[in-house]
């Protein structure tokens, strides 16, 4: 099942099995149905991506005539998929940078961690913000390079995914912006 996500998250980029295992963890997996006649089991759980992003998943596994698993994953909203994809790629980049001894904004204790926010853009005169579904507000200066990055993809009242460096409720830099 993890391989399905990796193919969608990073495409053809080489990803080691240890990177996959470290950054894609299924927690609380449980069977929800079983059909012994066709050797199929339905499951659900929580997928933790890059130790930062969590989403509920449902999947089915069925054995083919050669006793190989055929896995089907469905029902992941586009916003969750994009947020998980960003978290996965950023976690891989951070671990590779750390293994090479390079500075990484994700792993250095003096900087903020990369955070993925799914929310609505609110545009103001001096400060603008992204307001997440839980009501948290993340501000950024309206007249800034960062704002330009956000407003290239999203306008006021748009639902967007903003991936960036956050500290004390402020967006310090933007890594990626995607309009939903």
Domain ranges of the chain: 2-99, 114-179
Choice among 9-13, 18-22, 162-166 with the minimum mean pLDDT: 9-13
Choice among 7-16, 20-29, 71-80 with the minimum mean pLDDT: 7-16
Q: Is the pTM of this model over 0.85?
A: no
Choice among 2-16, 97-111, 114-128 with the minimum mean pLDDT: 97-111
pLDDT at 103 over 80: no
pLDDT in tens, 69-96: 888 887 777 667 777 777 787 788 778 8
pLDDT at 108 over 50: no
User: CA-CA distance, 67 to 63, in Å (whole number)?
Assistant: 5
User: CA-CA distance, 98 to 83, in Å (whole number)?
Assistant: 22
Alpha-carbon distances of 110 from 32, 58, 113, 120, 157, rounded to whole Å: 44, 38, 9, 29, 33
Average pLDDT, the chain: 79
pLDDT at 57 over 60: yes
User: CA-CA distance, 24 to 88, in Å (whole number)?
Assistant: 8
What fold, for 114-179?
Answer: OB fold (Dihydrolipoamide Acetyltransferase, E2P) (2.40.50)
């Amino acid at each position: 099942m993890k391989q399905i996500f990796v193919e969608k998250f990073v495409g053809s980029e080489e990803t080691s099995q240890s990177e996959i295992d470290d950054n894609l963890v299924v927690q609380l997996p449980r069977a929800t149905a079983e059909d012994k006649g066709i050797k199929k089991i339905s499951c659900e759980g929580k997928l933790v991506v890059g130790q930062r992003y969590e989403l509920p998943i449902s999947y089915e596994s069925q054995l083919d005539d050669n006793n190989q698993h055929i896995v089907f994953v469905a029902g992941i909203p586009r916003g969750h998929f994009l947020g998980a994809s960003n978290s996965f790629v950023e976690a891989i980049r951070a671990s590779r940078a750390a293994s090479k001894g390079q500075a990484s904004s994700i792993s250095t204790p003096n900087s903020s961690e990369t955070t993925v926010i799914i929310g609505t853009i609110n545009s103001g005169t001096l400060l603008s913000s992204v307001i997440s579904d839980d009501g948290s507000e993340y501000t950024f200066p309206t007249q800034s390079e960062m704002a330009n990055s956000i407003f290239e993809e999203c306008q006021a009242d748009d639902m967007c995914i903003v991936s960036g460096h956050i500290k004390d409720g402020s967006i310090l830099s933007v890594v990626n912006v995607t309009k939903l």
